[in-house]
Amino acid sequence: MSAVGVPNRDFFAASALDVAPRLLGARLTHETAHGAVTLRITEVEAYVGDGVDPGSHAFRGQTRRNAAMYGPPGHLYAYFTYGMHVCANVVCSPAGEASAVLLRAGEVVEGVEIARERRGLAVAERDLARGPARLVVALGIGLDDDGADLLDPPFSLRLPEDQGPSATGPRTGVSGAGGSDGFPWRFWVPGDPTVSPYRRHARAFPDAKT
């Protein structure tokens, strides 16, 4: 699955529900002083906004923390969670409408040694970016990247030539907003070893993923 297409801003101006499955197989690159790391996105989750999605940070409206979700599409929404991890999301929908796609997992395809230095020399290659916190560490993303434009350096994003098959199901770890009774807004590449294991909710909404 080769990455060939550079998306324009309009690609991200749709709902996260539309954008999320189209990001599977895309290649996201982040270049830092240590070098560039590229991963192929294999798992994502969609979150929408005000009063609609109880699993979203935007469920109760705009705050200082979630301001990037209300900004221009195609930018990064990065936030701190559990007091120890950063998670990264792709902002979708027109500015002023909050929706975003959480980057849950990927395969590191370039810069493997840089990612391994960040994640640990003993970490298996499939686990370098398997899970949202691991993905952020492997790419070298931090809170200071909140609001960064994914279409401009030091980031770049390329879409796959062939979308390939995808699977969908409940979101991971979101109480009341992703169980078997609704919100099947997690998308992944079926059979890919880098996809993170599903787990049922561990905490209550609304402070869930994005």
3-class SS string, 37-97: EEEEEEEEEEEECCCCCCCCCCCCCCCCCCHHHHCCCCEEEEEEECCCEEEEEEECCCCCC
Q: pLDDT tens digits, residue range 103-135?
A: 999 999 999 999 999 999 999 999 999 999 999
Q: pTM higher than 0.75, yes or no?
A: yes
In contact, 183 and 48? CB cutoff 8 Å? no
pLDDT in tens, 155-205: 999 999 888 889 999 888 775 544 444 688 999 999 999 999 887 644 333
pLDDT tens across 19-42, in order?
Answer: 999 999 999 999 999 999 999 999
The pLDDT of residue 178 is 43
Q: Is the pLDDT of residue 15 over 80?
A: yes
pLDDT for position 177: 46
Q: Report all structural domains of the chain as residue ranges with CATH numbers, in order of start.
A: 3-162 (3.10.300.10)
